[in-house]
Amino acid sequence: MKNRNEELKRKMKKAASISLCAVLAGGLAAGTYTGVNYLTGYEQSVQAATSDEKVELLKSEKKSDDSESKNDSKDSSTNKGSLDVSDIVEEAMPSIVSITTKSVEEVQSYYGMFGQYGAYSPSQEQEVQGSGSGIIIGKNDSELLIATNYHVVEGAETLSVGFCDSTACEAKVKGYDSEKDLAVVAVSLDDIDSDTMDAITIATIGNSDDLKVGAQVVAIGNALGYGQSVTTGIVSAKNRQVNSDNTISDYDSDSISATNLIQTDAAINPGNSGGALLNMNGEVVGINSSKLASTEVEGIGYAIAISYVTDTLETLMNEETRDKVDNHGVLGITVQTVDSDVSEAYGVPEGVLVRDVTEGGAADDAGIEAKTIITKFAGKVVTTKEQLVDFLSYYEPGEDVELTVEVPDGKGYKEETVTVTLGENTDTQNTDSKDNGDGQGTMDESGNLVEDWQNNEGGAGLQYGEGWN
């Protein structure tokens, strides 16, 4: 009996040993499966396009069904991701840049506020430095093109782009769309040395529509202006938008001022704006834009979904690079913003309402009349009077500019395209464009446009619910 018990014990130990080996082997296999998850993309050389070619984004190629079936294990490993994203970062980092801006702001000094002048003391100008990120998205025959957020470069007097090899170059804003919070920055190829050109790459653009909630993503950017850093997380939600009152809602595709956003718990900090949100293939699926800052929330950041702005980016990439001019051209109009609230309440297009037209001015010569709403300036969407003024600041008197306008047509509106030859600013009393409607004369500061129209003031002639008179 004793011998039988001892033999049974030996058999049980042997079985347990075999089971443990099986568990360890399974763990090793799983670890190996995860460990082979690495980026297998190719290096994209930076090649110039001829002046006649349109610059386009480098987009990832969709795989055929046969290719996908043959590489199921590889795709599964890549798309599911792993905690180690070092290979993805190594491949993507050469396409990410830091952006440093300098702007001038008017501030009131401490002594001015509490000194002999009190609250009416003159303000002082102060240079302010900002930082952000950008993504190298293309190149033409003379410039390297970099995507970023509009709010990164807004109001900047000077721009500097820092590359992965720690060199930096002066840059200019090539084009922007403030409604989508997008801008393209250009660096002259003459300013970039050959070693830097060899070090940098053009980012590959992915498809944000293919993202799934819960998928792993990587964010790279110039956090706090300290240099490039990496955070990782998941896609928390898709099809979000930030409203004018800073609330979050589902994306409204019918709104021209809405931007489709990806929500992620990857840390998006100040300075990360304009950087890349990458999928597990190392492709750009979003442009990091903002975070929800509140003591009640944690881990909510947003990136612009790349598939919804590729056309906008390519348009901006192919715009003519311009410098702001000291004495810009003017339209000869007095304007007021038609925002989304007014648009919804009265059923009028968003844009800039022409309230008055200067007789003999540029707009008058082009046939533009009061009550017309300007919706585009040189192909760029205009939704505020400030945008219109900013667009004008790049154009000299005598230049022709194409405007898209909505003209009252009975109870509705008719879209027209008008070419305007910009006039010269003859206002010597006040030439600060930020204070003027069009850089000439005065900006109509009559208050709330909704109230004006409800009271039928200011000559707008709009009655609630009835369209134009």
Q: By the 8 A CB rule, do 152 and 130 touch?
A: yes
Q: Exposed/middle/buried for 187, CB within 10 Å: 0-12, 13-18, 19+?
A: buried
Which is the catalytic residue, given 133, 236, 257, 273?
Answer: 273
277 is written with which tokens?
A: 């949100």
226 is written with which tokens?
A: 């300290």
151 is catalytic: yes
127: β partners: 104
328 is catalytic: no
Which is the catalytic residue, given 131, 160, 181, 328?
Answer: 181
String of DSSP letters for 346-361: HT--SEEEEEEE-TTS
177 is written with which tokens?
A: 């769309």
181 is catalytic: yes
String of DSSP letters for 69-132: HHTHHHHHHHHH--S--HHHHHHHGGGEEEEEEEEEEEE--HHHHHSTTGGGSPPEEEEEEEEE
Q: By the 8 A CB rule, do 51 and 1 touch?
A: no
Q: How many CB atoms lie within 10 A of CB 138?
A: 23
- Residues near 257 by beta carbon (within 8 Å), at least 6 away in sequence: 179, 244, 340, 350, 383
Which is the catalytic residue, given 77, 95, 151, 307?
Answer: 151
The bridge status of strand 143-148 relative to strand 412-421 is unpaired
Distance CA 99, CA 103 (A): 13
330: β partners: 423
Distance CA 286, CA 139 (A): 20
Q: Exposed/middle/buried for 79, CB within 10 Å: 0-12, 13-18, 19+?
A: middle
Question: 38-59 in b/e burial notation, b at 16+ Cβ within 10 A?
Answer: bbebeebebeeeeeeeebebbe
Q: By the 8 A CB rule, do 452 and 446 touch?
A: yes
Distance CA 362, CA 356 (A): 13
Which of the 8 DSSP states describes residue 423? B
- Residues with catalytic function: 151, 181, 273
